[in-house]
Structure 1
Amino acid sequence: MFRMPPEWAPHERTWMAWPGPNPTFDDEVGLAQAREAWAAVARAVRRFEPVTMVTGPGQSADARALLGPDIELVERDLDDAWMRDIGPTFVTDGDRLAAVDWTFNGWGAQSWARWGHDSKIGAYVSDLAGAQTLTSELVNEGGAIHVDGEGTVLLTETVQLGPERNPDWTRAQVEAEIHARLGTTKAIWLPRGLSGDYGEFGTRGHVDIVAAFARPGVIVAHTQPDPAHPDHELCKGIVAQLRAETDAKGRPLEVVEVPAPTVLKADEEWVDYSYINHYLCNGGVVLCSFGDPRDKEAAAVFQELFPDRTVVQVDARTIFAGGGGIHCITQQQPLVG
């Protein structure tokens, strides 16, 4: 049976996609800033494991100049640059590698989104990785799921059950498909995502900026200490819900709260800046920073959670301006065998 390993399991490599001209980065300055930010993440991950970057046709030379010589480049038509969502979700039975190719529709067919090319990237990356491709009719993205590797998966109601993605699916049908593809047995449904994730370039509620497993039975959860921010009450409710839950093994969940950065707004909009949107790679934790007093506090929390890993912080403000974070632009390929 195929199952999705937890992110802390050993990786073969990390997959990413290079920003190209599109509505998310709508001018030369924005695109240049995005490429600098993506390159900083790629170089941080490369300290710990191989990285393959998918670039648009003819963009490899520009990418190479920022990435350096030791990141593999492959060219393929792209619409956007969020590999967690457009790429496949890798699974394994211990001996074989497979990849779930979810149906992708531009985060709920949003008006600005294009996905004619991105909807094919999952199968393309699966093929490059030598994996068996497992297609799914469920409209879903990698940022909308998080697993503990022991049967539990985190989901949000506004993504998988929202009318923009799967209007004709019931909760039971979604759970059955998720469990069949990921090898999970219990789904923990959070009601929604952070407020800023419902803005123009938001995903409508991805779980990977709200809560994530750090190890079986332990979850890191975003909290908003400032009552002026609409996520203040939302996060209190989510933390309370998680502390009342048990995982697939019947264990009560330990919840480690990670406070949001002190900044509340950017460009007059509520921000969803979150340290939860981190990426675990072989021997490392690549963690968002925001030029904020709470950056060091968050790094200390993650260093305590992962004492055998090196915590590296990368400024993620440009990435969040485009609608995501470090976890959203990376996708792990597990080591098999």
Structure 2
Amino acid sequence: MSTWRMPAETAPQERLWMAFPTGGYTLGDTEEDAHAARSTWAAVANAAVEFEPVTVVVDPDDVGIAARYLNRNVEVLAAPLNDAWMRDIGPTFVLDQDGSLGAVDWIFNGWGAQDWARWDKDALIAGEVSGRSGATHIVSALVNEGGGIQVDGQGTVLVTETVQLDPGRNPGLSRADVEAELARTIGATQVVWLPRGLARDSERFGTRGHVDIVAAIPSPGTLLVHSQQDPRHPDFQVSRDIIEHLRTTRDAAGREWSIIEVPAPEVLWDDEGFVDYSYINHVVVNGGVIACTFGDPNDDKALQILAEAYPGRRVVGIDARELFARGGGIHCITQQQPAAS
């Protein structure tokens, strides 16, 4: 049995990894769109580097552009990119029982081989980051993304039936198959299956149900869960169903969850339909939390909930609307590397 274990995001970190947006839908159709994307990705990197080292993977053609946006303390690693969702294209870092660093290289296939996605370059990024970090390279045959798992560092992992069991990702695999691979690679002893993700994330340009927009584990036995308060939004019922389902599950230690509902922003729509704006999609760093805001009346309430859930950490809000317009949030564009011993 493997001794690799994925630590909680609250564990001490060596650095934060990101990627810089390049080309395609992420940059958009105009220079104004491109500036908005680059500015938002850079705002997250520039906020995080105040807490810990940050390395941003940048396409070789964009190194000069990135330098105009990124804090000079942010390290740049040049490598070819299709996209900029480091949580999904990068490795999932783990530690061995002796404290040595490993990096799980999942198969990435564009969130289930979706027809709009390109991943010939992104599929190589986990190996690139793994080598640069000095981690032991752990190859997995599971099609998976970092946004599709949330852990407590004690053996519990949250996943979604529509992601790991997606026929476009892992045709023919059973729950038992997925659970065995999660045990081997990240040390999972209790896999909690959510039935689905949020409504917009289940549409054509979504991930088909990433958990990191739905629920987070700020401490063992505690869940932060997205809660849509407005009955007009389809996630009103979705979030209630998920919360009720989670109440029937237990963590690896056999505990019932203490569930903290985090109200969704009041805004319901953007130009594309119902939004999936979520405060759950934050990233924890050493001494801080980089959190999504939306210029919304609920921003302050959500940031206060996060501050209470992560005591002793400074919560920094970044306007994430440009990220969500492109399909994700702050957790989606970051990947933490735990401190090895």
TM-score, structure 1 as length reference: 0.98
Cα offset, 1:85, TM superposition: 0.1
- Is 1:51–1:72's contact at 8 Å kept on the other side of the alignment? yes
User: Which whole-Å deviations, capped at 9, do the CAs of 1:279-315 have from their partners, x for residues lacking one?
Assistant: 0000001110000000000011011111200000000
Distance 2:10 2:263 in 1: 22
Counterpart in 2 of 1:175?
Answer: 179
What is the total number of aligned residue pairs between the two structures? 337
Counterpart in 2 of 1:194?
Answer: 198
- Is 2:88–2:146's contact at 8 Å kept on the other side of the alignment? yes
Distance 1:137 1:187 in 2: 18
Cα offset, 1:164, TM superposition: 1.2
Counterpart in 1 of 2:27?
Answer: 25
Cα offset, 1:211, TM superposition: 0.4
Cα offset, 1:268, TM superposition: 4.1
- Is 2:25–2:326's contact at 8 Å kept on the other side of the alignment? no
Please identify runs of 4+ aligned residues in structure 1 that moved more than 6 A: none
Cα offset, 1:29, TM superposition: 2.5
2:69 aligned with 1:66, yes or no?
yes
Cα offset, 1:69, TM superposition: 0.8
Tell me the secondary structure at the aligned position of residue 59 of structure 1: helix
2:138 aligned with 1:130, yes or no?
no
Counterpart in 1 of 2:247?
Answer: 243
2:302 aligned with 1:271, yes or no?
no
Distance 2:185 2:48 in 1: 27
Distance 2:52 2:43 in 1: 15
User: Which whole-Å deviations, capped at 9, do the CAs of 1:211-248 have from their partners, x for residues lacking one?
Assistant: 01010000100000001111111111111121222111
2:147 aligned with 1:143, yes or no?
yes
- Is 2:19–2:57's contact at 8 Å kept on the other side of the alignment? yes
2:132 aligned with 1:92, yes or no?
no
Distance 1:315 1:200 in 2: 24
User: Which whole-Å deviations, capped at 9, do the CAs of 1:34-62 have from their partners, x for residues lacking one?
Assistant: 10000000011111000000000131121
> Amino acid of the residue matched to residue 73 of structure 1?
V
- Alignment partner for residue 40 of structure 2, among 37, 44, 59? 37
Cα offset, 1:110, TM superposition: 1.0
Cα offset, 1:199, TM superposition: 2.9
Cα offset, 1:74, TM superposition: 1.0
Cα offset, 1:179, TM superposition: 1.4
Counterpart in 1 of 2:55?
Answer: 52
- Is 1:3–1:182's contact at 8 Å kept on the other side of the alignment? yes
TM-aligned CA distance change 1:121 to 1:334, over 3 Å: same
Identity, in percent, stands at: 55
Tell me the secondary structure at the aligned position of residue 58 of structure 1: helix
> Amino acid of the residue matched to residue 8 of structure 1?
T
Cα offset, 1:172, TM superposition: 0.8
**Structure 2: which 5+ residue stretches go unaligned?**
none
**Structure 1: which 5+ residue stretches go unaligned?**
none
Counterpart in 1 of 2:6?
Answer: 4
> Amino acid of the residue matched to residue 61 of structure 2?
G
- Is 2:26–2:37's contact at 8 Å kept on the other side of the alignment? no
**Root mean square deviation, CA, Å:** 0.9
Deviates more, 1:285-294 or 1:64-73: 64-73
Distance 2:275 2:99 in 1: 42
